[in-house]
Structure 1
Amino acid sequence: MKKLDTIKKSFSSGFEAQIILRPHFVKKFMGIIVDFGGSDPQKLAGGAHFLEHKLFAKKHGDISHRFEELGANTNAFTSYNETMYFANFIDHSLQVTNLLFELVGTTYFTKENVQKEAEIIAQELAMYQEDPNWELQHQVLEMMFPQTNLALDLTGTQQSLSEMTPQILQEIYEEHYFAGNMKFVACGGFTKAEVREILEEVDKLQKKYLRPQSRPLPQIKPAISKEETQLEIPAEVISARVCIGIKLPDFKLFDSSNELMETIVEAYLEQNLGLMSKGFEKFQKDKLLNSPLAIKVNYTREGNFALISGMSPKPEELIEEIKKLIFNGKGDQALFEIQKKEYIAEMKRKLDQIEELAIESAEMMLEKEDLLKLVQRFGNLSFNDFANYYNEIVDKVEIFSAIMR
C-alpha cells in the first residue's frame, strides 16, 4: 500500500495532531478523539456516552447548529475504548476547527438538560434491552467480567441514568478530558498552506480550551470471572439462541499490537466457524445451525473477549462442537491467504473513504500504532506465525456460554 502523506505535530501539553493529505478530495474531515470509552471505570456507568451527548449543549443552544451554518455535519460516538467528536465539511476549515475545540473544551450542564437527556437515553436503553441478542450477550459478558462496565450497555443502566447530575457529569469530564488524553485528526484535500494554518490554530485552541494535566487515571485490575460458566435464559423465542464468550488474555503478553492480535484471533475463528469454513459446512450438515454464526473480537482496558452467537435447534450440541473448534480447529492456509488479500483490499478501500480513514487513524494514534504498518505486518505474516500466535493465545482463554429458549 502506498504510504500516506501525513503531517504530525506534538505539543508540550501532551496533545497531538495529525493531518492526512488526500489530494483531489473535495470532502474534508476533522475530529478529536478522547482516550476514554464506555467500558472504562467512571463515576457512573454510561457516563462516557452521556457526556458525549451533553457536550453538544452550550449556553446559547446546540452547537451542531453552528456547524450547519458553515455547511458542516457534526456527530460523535462512544465505543468501549474511546469517544470521538467529528465534522465533515468542504469549506471553512479554520471555523470548523474552532467549533470542534469549543465542542470538546466547554461544558454547559444544567439540572434540566441532564434530566431531559437521561430520559432520552433511558428510552434508547429500553429499546436495546428488548432485543434477545442484547440480553444473551450481556449475560455472557456478566459472567466473564462481573461488576465492570463491560457487563452493561455503553449507555449505562436505568439506575445510573436516573442518578446522573450536572456535578457528576462535570467530574467525569474533568477526569478524562485533558490535553494528554486527546488527539486531533484531519483528513482531506488540504493545501500545504491550509495545513500550516490549521496546525497554528490547533496550537492556540488546545492552549485555550484544554487543561495540560489531570489527576492520574485509576489503574484497572483484571476482572475475576464468575465460577458459573454456563447459563440458561428462559424466553419466548422461535428458535433457541446461543452465545459463547471467549475471555481472552492480555494481548500485550504476545505482541505490542492489540490490533494485530485482535485481527489474528478473529481471522482464525472465521477459518473454523465462519461461512467459508469446514466447521460451518458440518454444522449445516448436522442441522445444528439455522444461520451463519456472528463472530466479533474486542480488546478493551477491562479485558479482551470474543463473542460467537447464532440460532440452533440443538444448542447444547452446537456449543460443544464450537468449543472443540476453538481449541482444536486447524487453520486453513489457503483461506488465510484469501483473508490477507481481503484485509489489504479493505484497507485500500478505506484510503478513499475520508471519514473511515481518519477515524481508524485516530484510533491508531491512541494505540501508538501506525495503520499502514499494521496492514503490512498482517500482509507479511506467515501461516505458521499466524497459527502460533493463535495457539499461544487460546492456551490462556476461559469459555462461557448461554442458551436462550
Structure 2
Amino acid sequence: MKGANMQTNPYHEQVHHHTFSNGFDLFYIEKKGFAQKFAGVMINYGGADQPRDFTLPAGTAHFLEHQLFAKPYGDITDKFEQYEASSNAFTSYNETMYFANFTHHTYENIKTLVELVANPYFTEKNVDTEREIILQELKMYQDMPDWQLNNRLMHMMYGDEPLSQEVVGTEDSLQTITAQTLTDAYNEYYSAQNMKLVVVGDLDFNHLIDEIEATVKQIKSNSSNIVEEKTTFKDEESKVVKVEGKVESPKFSIGIKFSEHDFDVARPQLYIAMQILMETLFGLSGQLYQDLQKQNLVNGEIDFDINFNRQGDFAIVSGTSQNPQEAATLIKEAFFNASINQSDFERQKRKLFGQEIRQLDDFEGYGIEFIESIFDQEDYYQYYTDIQNISFETCTKLISEIKTQSTSQTAILFNQNNVDK
C-alpha cells in the first residue's frame, strides 16, 4: 500500500517505504514539527569499484559525480539555489551520494534531486572542462600533508589494488576519461535497483510519491554488476616508510588492516568492539593518550577512523609528533597488547551510545547512515540495540581476535629537509 508505515525500531522513529515500479526505493524518515529537511540519493558505486566485464579508469566514479550536475540548460545547482536549497555530493570507496538540505520548496527540491541522477548529459566539451577542474582539485589534495600520508599508507596496505587508488584519480587516469567512459559507468551502475532515495523531515509522503514518480520512472531498471569481493587477506611484514612533504610538524599514520570475514559476528558488533578499543586507547581520557602527552610524544589529539569496504577493511590511527617513529611504535605496541577492564568498557559503551543516539537529530548524518545500512542489508536501528546489549565478555573476546587477525603498516611524513630524522 502506498505510504504504508514500517515500524522497525524501539526508538519511536517512523519510517515509510515505497518501491516504484522500476525497483527504485524511497525511504521517508518522519520528523514531525521540524522545518529542516534533508534528501539524498545514494548509488551503490564508488571509487574502488570495478565492473566484471571491463575496466574503468581510476577516478571515474568521482568524475561522474561532478558531471551529473551538468544538464542541457546549465548547472542543476542553479535550480537548487532557486528553490533555496544547499546541494552537494561526495564519492567514497563504495558509494556516491547526492544530497540537499532545505526548509522550503520541499517537493520541487526532491524532484530536482531525482532529476540530477535520472538524466545524464555528457558531452566531450563539458567533460574536457570538468577534467581541468578535477585536475586542479587533485593538485590541491596533493599539497595537503594528510593526503600525502594517507595516499602512501593505502598503497602500502593494498599495493596496486583499486582500494589504494585515490578516489579523485591520478593525472594520467583523468586524461583517459571521456564522455563515453562516463556513459559506460552510468549505464553499469546507475540503475533503479542500485540507488535509493532517503528523505528526513516533515512532509506528505503520498504527495511526495506522486510528485517524483514520473521522474523516477526515467531511471532504467536493471541489476548492477558490482563485484562483491574482498581483498585477499594475508600476513604481511610490518613496515615503516618515511615520506617528505610540506609540513611544519612531523605526522604519523598507522594502517591496521583486517577482514570482517575472519570474525563470527556481524559487522556492527565488530565495529562496536573496535570503536570501544580505539576510544579506550586513543581517546582524550585514555591512559595511552595521557602517557604520550606527558612524554611530549604527541601534539594534539590522536585521530582514528574505522573503514569497512567491499575490497577490504582497515582502521587508521594518526597524529602529530616531534618524534613520530617512537610515538607510532608505542601506539602499535599498545594496540597489539591492548586489554580493557569492565569499568572502561561500561564507560565507553555509554559514551558510544550517547554519541550515536544524538545523530537521530542530525538529519544529514542520519539519512546518509540509514541508506548505508540498507545497502549493507542491516537494520539501522538494531545498531543502537547492539551497543546496549554487547557484553563485556563478547567485547573482550572480539578485541583479542582483532589483535590476532590484524596487520599494520606505518607512514611518517617529515619536512622535506628533515626526512632522514
TM value normalised by structure 1: 0.91
Q: Secondary structure of 1:168's partner?
A: helix
Paired with 2:107 and 2:410, the residues of 1 have a C-alpha distance of 51
Aligned counterpart in structure 1 of residue 375 of structure 2, from 338, 360, 366: 366
What one-letter code is carried by the residue in structure 2 that aligns with 1:340? K
1:350 partnered with 2:370: no
- Matching residue's letter, 1:72: A
Cα separation, 2, equivalents of 1:252 and 1:210: 38
Q: Is the 8 A contact 2:192 2:222 kept in 1?
A: yes
Provide the rounded CA distance (Å) in 1 between the counterparts of 2:197 and 2:240.
Answer: 44
Q: Does 2:299 align with 1:325? A: no
Structure 1 residue 274 corresponds to structure 2 residue 283: yes
Q: Post-superposition shift, 1:140? A: 1.3
Give the conservation status (yes or no) of the 8 Å contact 1:244–1:399: yes
* Partner Cα separation in structure 1 for residue 199 and residue 20 of structure 2: 16
SS of residue paired to 2:221: coil
Matches for 1:13-24 after TM superposition, within 5 Å: 13-24=22-33
Partner of 1:162: 175
* Higher mean displacement: 146-155 or 56-65: 146-155
| Deviations 1:59-99, CA, capped at 9 Å, x for gaps | 11111212222233322121222111122233433333322
Equivalent residue for 1:198? 208
Bigger drift between 211-220 and 153-162 goes to 211-220
Identify the range of structure 1 (109-118 vs 65-74) with the bigger mean alpha-carbon deviation: 65-74
Q: Does 1:119 align with 2:132?
A: yes
Tell me the residue number matched to 1:242.
252
The one-letter amino acid paired with 1:302 is Q
SS at match of 2:309: coil
- Does 2:408 match 1:399? yes
Aligned to 2:239: 229
TM-superposition CA deviations, 1:104-127 (whole Å, max 9, x none): 011111112111111111111111
Q: How does 1:6-405 map to 2 (within 5 A)?
A: 6-11=15-20, 13-41=22-50, 43-190=56-203, 194-206=204-216, 208-214=217-223, 216-222=225-231, 229-235=239-245, 237-251=247-261, 253-256=263-266, 258-405=267-414
**2:322 & 2:84 partners in 1: Cα distance?**
52
Question: Which deviates the most, 172-181 or 143-152?
Answer: 143-152
Gaps of 5+ in 2: 1-9, 415-421
Residue 102 (structure 1) shift:
1.4
- Quick one: distance in 2 between partners of 1:369 and 1:167? 35
> What displacement does 1:169 show?
0.9
Structure 1's 348 and 100: CA in aligned 2 closer, same or farther, altered over 3 A?
same
Compute the displacement of 1:251 (Å).
4.9
Task: Tell me how far apart the structure 2 counterparts of residues 10 and 21 of structure 1 sit (CA, whole Å).
Answer: 17
SS at match of 2:361: coil
After superposition, the Cα gap between the structure-2 partners of 1:173 and 1:239, relative to the gap in structure 1 and judged at 3 Å, is: same
C-alpha distance 4-311 of structure 1, shift in aligned 2 (>3 A): same
Percent identical pairs in the alignment equals: 35
| AA of the residue aligned to 2:12 | K
Could you tell me how far apart the structure 2 residues matched to 1:215 and 1:188 are?
30
CA distance in structure 2 between the partners assigned to 1:202 and 1:391 by the alignment: 50
- Alpha-carbon shift at residue 391 of structure 1 (Å): 1.7
Give the direction of change, closer, same or farther, for the CA distance of 1:227–1:384 in structure 2 (3 Å limit): closer
Distance 1:330 1:235, change over 3 A: same
Deviation at 1:166, TM superposition (A): 0.5
Structure 1 letter corresponding to 2:316: L
Shift of 1:252: 7.1
Q: 1:324 to 1:392 in 2, by over 3 A?
A: same
In angstroms, what is the RMSD of aligned CA positions?
Answer: 2.2
Question: 1:248·1:394 contact (CA, 8 Å) conserved in 2?
Answer: no
Judge conservation of contact 2:373–2:380 (CA < 8 Å) in 1: yes
Distance 1:304 1:271 in 2: 21
AA aligned opposite 1:212: S
Distance 1:291 1:89, change over 3 A: closer
What letter corresponds to residue 175 of structure 1 in structure 2? Answer: E
Q: Residue 221 of structure 1: CA displacement? A: 4.9
In structure 1, C-alpha distance between the alignment counterparts of 2:282 and 2:67, rounded to whole Å? 41
CA distance in 2, matches of 1:351, 1:284: 34
Q: Verify the 8 A CA contact 1:25 1:188 in the aligned structure 2.
A: yes
Counterpart residue type for residue 132 of structure 2: E
SS of match in other structure, 1:264: helix
Please, what TM-score do these two structures have when normalized by structure 2? 0.88
Question: Which stretch shows the higher mean deviation, 226-235 or 335-344?
Answer: 226-235
2:250 aligned partner, one-letter code: A
